Chains A and B, each alone.
Chain A
Amino acid sequence: MATTTLFTLHLCRFGQSFSKKLFSTSPSSDTLLNPHHVTFHHKLRRPNSSSAPAFFRRFSTVAAASTSGEVNYDGIGTADEKYDVIVVGGGHAGCEAALASARLGARTLLLTLNIDRIAWQPCNPAVGGPAKSQLVHEVDALSGEIGKIADRCYLQKRVLNVSRGPAVRALRAQTDKREYAMQMKSVVESTPNLSIREAMVTDILLGKNDNVEGVCTFFGMKFYAPSVVLTTGTFMSGKIWVGRTSMPAGRAGESASHGLTENLQRLGFETDRLKTGTPARVDIRTVDFSGLEPQHGDKEVSWFSFDPDVHIEREQMCCYLTRTTGRTHQIIRDNLHETPTYGGWVEAKGPRYCPSIEDKIVRFQDKESHQIFLEPEGRSVPELYVQGFSTGLPERLQLPLLRTLPGLENCSMLRPAYAVEYDYLPAHQCARSLMTKKIQGLFFSGQINGTTGYEEAAAQGIISGINAARYADGKQLIVLERESSYIGTLIDDLVTKDLREPYRMLTSRSEHRLLLRSDNADSRLTPLAHEIGLIDDRRWKLYQEKQARISEEKKRLRSVRISGGDLAAEVSRVSGQPVRDSSTLESLLKKPHIQYGILDEHGFGNIELSRIEKECVEIDIKYEGFILRQQSQLQQMVTQQHRQLPEDLDYHMITTLSIEAREKLSKVRPQTIGQASRVGGVSPADITALLIVLEANRRKAQEQSRYKIMNAMRAKALEEEVPEVSCTETVSS
């Protein structure tokens, strides 16, 4: 096996250098060597290489080898094949992974099936929403890209849950999906250390120690790197369904990737299948909006990114609301047998939070109507996304169904709704660093881990990108604890719980969400990002200045006191509580319904603070009691929960554990006690048993090492025949 690998490696290298020599249009060897220009080089070469070379290369290897003596670019050619990190897939996970890795200085290669579909939004033209927006803020705090691109490409922005508490306030942006993909693509293309290549990866190359060495593509190319990140999305053995008809595809119009699943299975990975879907798109010009309820964006726009450079306001577009009618329900009820779920030819259930319209109608029969949202997909395209209307009905019924909706009576359909089935790898096979437990250096992110959503993908992408780069660099991997962030919660859930449906982030999944707000995502995560080298000096300076201003302002509010006056009168009127003489501004802010704006109105605000900073100050002061209580609860819990579990613990041998716990723990192999306690079927008594075993093992190990040291010393003492006197001397000295 090892020799074959070695052999092909050689052949490949020759082939590559040969082809390069033949087809390279960029003559300067400087350009080749300079990683900044590598992308350029690829782009220039692509039209040529698409003609034949991939097949040609294998066949021509002998010839190439014979001529290799004359080739001087050998080193240059092969250098291109070796990277620090290879990211497979150019979706939302892949982009963040590749960017983070490249920004950390790792030579990174992004392999994607289609360069024109980088960062594509195949479903909702939107970013954010409850819980998801927290993920976006957190990724941004780690210097990820999703927030910035969404801020640049928004069509409409709204803050949800405005009055329901700072922890659940959520920003949602409708995005221009074409612009989004373009923007992200140009960022990826212009990032130093990052190369892009179109390829379908079919195999993982292994080293001798269950470590990854690189990937092999369909056309026989081999790319080498100590870290590989797989972000295959819905493409791995993807199959799309419309009605009873299916075809292999990752998305409508894009071919699936084949072979990788089988190879991963051969490596011992467990794979399974998930299903998701997307609704139809209609032509915006054929919709009559006059009778529909418009949904406007916020007047005052909020931002995902903490970087003020991308805070550029643009004109907003409107979304509309329509509803299902009796006729809609009738058509669906009459044709239930034509849907995959009720017709019985697809067993896989869709996610609960994303039910098809037929599911809604069957399960909630007493509801006469369901809301449907109409969302534009871009400024320059006529497509309209019909949210809440995904269906498994055959295409011939889809248009009649759409036309039952008010406003869509005469609509024309641009793309039919379809469902997609794909392979994923239950994520308990990953550690919380997102590196797989089986193969060192192999990372999974995004839908391959069973999640859904751009934000969830981006969140995993940035973590696997960071860790892939660190792993290639021989550095310790980074784990975000569950309690630190929504990202941590997401990953902890993924690797611990037995998931049966695509995982979507929801606020109710976070136990300590009051501490994990969007406004403090930067103060939670940016210091870490700075420490590992992801945040540049400019961002770091901005961050520090912001924190200083907030902390100064809190100090000021604590010290400034007022007695009577307009402000006091207004505060007592609004809050319904009396204002005592010489009250601090801080104490005023703590009163119900009192916001920083009132201080501003009466000239007690600080004009140097931005709106966001004022909000931070307000939250910190207003909810201080709650925040501190949660913090101390967390501290109490964390001590126990973060105890590490050894990776090689044999749970089957621990007879004090219940049988169920033994099985579940052997499967999930949690990394900490806290994680173990969240594994289904593990009781508090099991955790106690586990703690005892850990401690007993630790003592045994300690005893052994002590015994060894003693023995070694005794042996040494005998060897050197040191008289006892000298020992005491050593001690006394």
Chain B
Amino acid sequence: MLRASEKPNAVMAHLPALRVLLRHINCLIPPPRTSMPALCTIRATCHFLLLSPKPRKLHATATSKGPENHALLLNRDERVARNVTPSDVVEKGSTIAAIVTSLGGPPGAVGIVRLSGPSAVSVAGRVFRPAKRSKNNDWKPMSHVVEYGVVLDSEGNVIDEVLAVPMLAPKSYTREDVVEIQCHGSEVCLRRVLRTCLEAGATLAQPGEFTLRAFLNGRLDLSQAENVGRLITAKSVAAADAALAGIQGGFSSLVRSLRMQCIELLTEIEARLDFEDEMPPLDLNIIMDKIHSMSQDVESALEAENYDRLLQSGLQIAIVGRPNVGKSSLLNAWSKSERAIVTEIAGTTRDVIEASVSVNGIPITLLDTAGIRDTDDVVEKIGVERSEAVARGADLIIMTVSAVEGWTSEDTKLLERIQSAKSSTGSLIPVILAVNKIDCNPRAETDWDRGCQSHDIFSKRVFTCAVTGQGLQDLERAVLELVGLDAIPSGGRQWTVNQRQCEQLVRTKEALERLQSSIKEELPLDFWTIDLRDAALSLGQIIGEDISEEVLSNIFGKFCIGK
């Protein structure tokens, strides 16, 4: 319970350094007498320092100038301590997570999400399922042994196939337990894995926090210290700037209003706790309604996060179809480039070709694929397989047919192949039917409906002409409608919620959920404040303010209390 001025932790942090020192000294003479006992009896000293009275000095003052030595009392409730097994309380310090490979450039083959902190292993254990499953659910990794497996979200759906690299303390970059999850390099993948980690209890790392921890835990040497300082300061300034920029956005006004609502509720409740007999009774129904509407606001803000992800990583659209229906021409026309080679020969496109376009500010990656058909050509066969794989992984599929040839039996077959691909992953990928080469058969527009009425699988149908560019705008509109972005007003483009804000909203959401369950279980009023405070804190971190004083001044400003 009593802690000496030098906390065990701080002593622990010195240990590696001491060890280095000792190693040096060992070469010459045995270690100095004082440092050995210090090493062995860290626990004991904490107790000892306080209880051993120094020889009594009448004029103690004369000698004891200098840093005050304090015995610190940490919160330890004997009644709780008796109940709790040590493993419940040893968890010290937070566990952070972040994507450590670069984002924003062309996607790498592999990306890494890193977890660091005392509960890194348990957080990883919650999201990572090793291929070789042990009997009990706890993941007990061996340090520095790579394990293969999958990352699951909270509902148990597979997010990605990954390698987990556990590096247990102190043999890691930060000298804490570190787990690195190597996933596929696409941004979407990485963000999903990260978000799962955050939901499993990790905190999003501050810019440079891994390096900061490495430094604070004695990992980097002194010559690097100042650089680290400068680096981290620069990063936090950049982050602060970014956050400041965010304050002007549409999102932050929502956050601010959510936070204000939290503070107001806290004010209402806490005023009653401190000034019971001077206040009119609280209307619980109003409070509950407010809490309910707040959680809805958080939900919708989290949906906005989805949009944000699109803003940053964009949509993947696969263009599929029979050979020679003009897929590559469509890609070229849409991206206003000559990205794909276009010939009259069926099967010209063998590999997947990418091109970028921007629709309403959303980056879209168009994927031109080899025409799907049964073929004996080895190279083309591989191309066809790839086309199908791309179609399975895309956010949206544009199935292209030729207006000249009309709907053919091959098209039906192809559709079936796509559909079977869809059912294997379980998710429904919307499909747009693009009737191309409309210029060659202008009557097709009217004839078409009769032709393929049965195929209600298509979410949208547009008529295009890759050569004239006709119908491309319709195509864009169809895309926007399908991914649900048409509902977002034009001003909403600044509505960006980055991953950090998302994390905080997730925390807020959790807090509000707990709050609602507290209300449901009819817990006393004071318990409501715990989660309201949590919610306000999570929201506050975005803007960065303090709560207690705010609640107090609110109470004094709003209510006539005090005797």
Tell whether A and B belong to one assembly: yes
Chain B, residues 65-80, CB within 8 Å of chain A (1/0): the string is 1111111111111111
Q: Check B560 for interface membership: any CB of A closer than 8 A.
A: yes
Q: Check B229 for interface membership: any CB of A closer than 8 A.
A: yes
Also in contact, A616 and B93, with CB within 8 A (given A164-B526, A626-B527, A688-B212): no
Bound together, the chains give a CA A367 to CA B278 distance in angstroms of 13
Chain B, residues 209-236, CB within 8 Å of chain A (1/0): the string is 0001001101001100110111011001
Q: Check A2 for interface membership: any CB of B closer than 8 A.
A: no
Q: Check B64 for interface membership: any CB of A closer than 8 A.
A: yes
Bound together, the chains give a CA A713 to CA B56 distance in angstroms of 34
Asked whether B51 lies within 8 Å of A164 as measured between CB atoms, the reply is: no
In the bound complex, residues from chain B placing their C-beta under 8 Å from that of A512 are 75
Nearest opposing residue in chain A for B20, CB measure: A706
Interface stretch of the complex, out of B26-34, B322-330, B348-356: B26-34
Within the complex, the shortest CB–CB distance from A433 to chain B, in Å, comes to 6
Bound together, the chains give a CA A360 to CA B561 distance in angstroms of 8
Q: Check B126 for interface membership: any CB of A closer than 8 A.
A: no
Within the complex, the shortest CB–CB distance from B176 to chain A, in Å, comes to 11
Asked whether A164 lies within 8 Å of B524 as measured between CB atoms, the reply is: yes
Asked whether B25 lies within 8 Å of A638 as measured between CB atoms, the reply is: no
Asked whether B54 lies within 8 Å of A692 as measured between CB atoms, the reply is: no
Q: Check B253 for interface membership: any CB of A closer than 8 A.
A: no
In the bound complex, residues from chain B placing their C-beta under 8 Å from that of A702 are 14, 17, 21
Bound together, the chains give a CA A212 to CA B65 distance in angstroms of 12
Nearest opposing residue in chain B for A525, CB measure: B73
Q: Check B135 for interface membership: any CB of A closer than 8 A.
A: no
Bound together, the chains give a CA A696 to CA B212 distance in angstroms of 12
Q: Check B24 for interface membership: any CB of A closer than 8 A.
A: yes
Also in contact, A643 and B10, with CB within 8 A (given A474-B53, A624-B83, A696-B222): yes
Bound together, the chains give a CA A703 to CA B18 distance in angstroms of 11
Chain B, residues 520-563, CB within 8 Å of chain A (1/0): the string is 01111111001001000000000010101101110110001111
In the bound complex, residues from chain A placing their C-beta under 8 Å from that of B552 are 506, 508-509
Within the complex, the shortest CB–CB distance from B527 to chain A, in Å, comes to 6
Q: Which positions 298-354 of chain B face chain A at CB distance < 8 Å? A: none
Asked whether B71 lies within 8 Å of A477 as measured between CB atoms, the reply is: yes
Bound together, the chains give a CA A224 to CA B424 distance in angstroms of 88
Chain A, residues 567-582, CB within 8 Å of chain B (1/0): the string is 0000000000000000
Asked whether B82 lies within 8 Å of A551 as measured between CB atoms, the reply is: yes
The contact of A636 among B93, B233, B533, by CB within 8 Å, is B93
In the bound complex, residues from chain A placing their C-beta under 8 Å from that of B551 are 508
Within the complex, the shortest CB–CB distance from B40 to chain A, in Å, comes to 19
Asked whether A474 lies within 8 Å of B56 as measured between CB atoms, the reply is: yes
Interface stretch of the complex, out of B267-275, B357-365, B490-498: B267-275
In the bound complex, residues from chain B placing their C-beta under 8 Å from that of A435 are 68
Chain A, residues 202-221, CB within 8 Å of chain B (1/0): the string is 00000111111100000000
Nearest opposing residue in chain B for A575, CB measure: B522
Within the complex, the shortest CB–CB distance from B420 to chain A, in Å, comes to 47
Nearest opposing residue in chain A for B5, CB measure: A644
Most chain B beta-carbon neighbours within 10 Å: one of A226, A435, A656, A695:
A695
Also in contact, A685 and B273, with CB within 8 A (given A435-B68, A713-B28): no
Asked whether B212 lies within 8 Å of A713 as measured between CB atoms, the reply is: no
Asked whether A433 lies within 8 Å of B92 as measured between CB atoms, the reply is: no
Also in contact, A473 and B53, with CB within 8 A (given A440-B64, A507-B270, A710-B24): yes
In the bound complex, residues from chain B placing their C-beta under 8 Å from that of A683 are 240, 544
Asked whether A527 lies within 8 Å of B527 as measured between CB atoms, the reply is: no
Bound together, the chains give a CA A524 to CA B79 distance in angstroms of 8
Asked whether B83 lies within 8 Å of A508 as measured between CB atoms, the reply is: no
Asked whether B225 lies within 8 Å of A696 as measured between CB atoms, the reply is: yes
Nearest opposing residue in chain B for A132, CB measure: B274
The contact of A631 among B2, B30, B80, by CB within 8 Å, is B80
Asked whether A474 lies within 8 Å of B93 as measured between CB atoms, the reply is: no
Q: Check B488 for interface membership: any CB of A closer than 8 A.
A: no
Asked whether B229 lies within 8 Å of A671 as measured between CB atoms, the reply is: no
Asked whether A592 lies within 8 Å of B560 as measured between CB atoms, the reply is: no
Within the complex, the shortest CB–CB distance from A343 to chain B, in Å, comes to 21
Given contacts A474-B64, A506-B552, 8 further A-B contacts (CB under 8 A): A160-B276, A211-B61, A474-B60, A476-B71, A507-B273, A508-B551, A520-B79, A531-B51
Interface pairs (11), CB distance under 8 Å:
A211-B61, A355-B560, A472-B60, A474-B57, A479-B70, A515-B77, A554-B83, A644-B10, A685-B236, A692-B215, A731-B27
- A interface residue numbers (CB < 8 A to B): 124, 130-131, 160-161, 163-168, 207-213, 226, 351-355, 360, 363-364, 367, 370-371, 373, 387-388, 431-433, 435, 440-441, 471-481, 483-485, 488, 497, 506-509, 511-516, 520, 523-524, 527-528, 531, 547, 550-551, 554, 592-593, 616, 620, 623-624, 626-628, 630-632, 634-636, 638-640, 642-644, 646-648, 656, 671, 678, 683-685, 688-689, 691-693, 695-696, 698-700, 702-703, 706, 709-710, 713, 717, 727, 730-731
What 3 A-B pairs have minimum CB-CB distances, sorted nearest first?
A: A211-B61, A165-B526, A165-B524
